[in-house]
Amino acid sequence: MVIQEEVTLNRSVGNVSKIFSDIAKVISTAVGRPWGFLLAATAVILWGITGPIFNFSDTWQLVINTTSSVVTFLMVFLIQNAQNRDSAAIQVKLDELIRVSAAHNSLVGIEHLTDQELEEIRDKCEARAKAELG
C-alpha cells in the first residue's frame, strides 16, 4: 500500500514538474522577446500618464509598486528554472565531448564536487596550461 502511494506521489510530482517546466519555458521565451519589453514599458508609461487623473495618490503609487513586486517575485523562479535547465543541458553536452575526446574522463561529473574540490581542479588545470605554454 505504501509503495503504491509513493508511486502515485512520484507521478504527481513529475506531472507538476513537467507542467511548471512547460509554462516556465513559454513565459521566459515570451518575456525575453522585444514585445515583452515593449508591453512592460507601455504599462509603465500608461501608469505614469494616469498619475494626474488619480492626483498621484498613494493608491496610484501602490498599484505599480505591488505589480512590480509580484512580477519580480514570480520571474525569479522562472529565470532560475531556465538557468537550471540550460546549465544541465550544457553540462551533459560537455560531459559527452569529454567522453568522446582525448580529454581526461575524470573530469566528467565534476559539477557534483564541492567548491573547494573544484577550485583545486581548476588550479591544477591552469598550472598544466601554463606549463604547456612555456
Q: Which three cell numbers stand for residue 41?
A: 514599458
Pick left, alpha or beta for residue 109 (phi over 0 → left; psi -120 to 50 → alpha; otherwise beta). left
Cα dist. 101→69, 113, 122, 133 in Å?
Answer: 48, 22, 19, 21
- Which pLDDT belongs to residue 69? 97
Give the residue numbers spanning the domain of 61. 2-103
Number of domains in the chain: 1
- Which pLDDT belongs to residue 2? 55
Asked if the structure places residue 110 within a domain, the reply is no
CB contact set of 32 (below 8 Å; sequence gap of 6+): none
The answer to pTM > 0.75 is: no
* Mean pLDDT per 10-residue section of the chain, whose length is 134 residues: 58 80 88 92 95 94 95 92 88 83 78 86 85 80
CB 105 within 8 A of CB 99: yes
Asked if the structure places residue 124 within a domain, the reply is no
- Which pLDDT belongs to residue 48? 95
Asked if the structure places residue 64 within a domain, the reply is yes
Asked if the structure places residue 112 within a domain, the reply is no
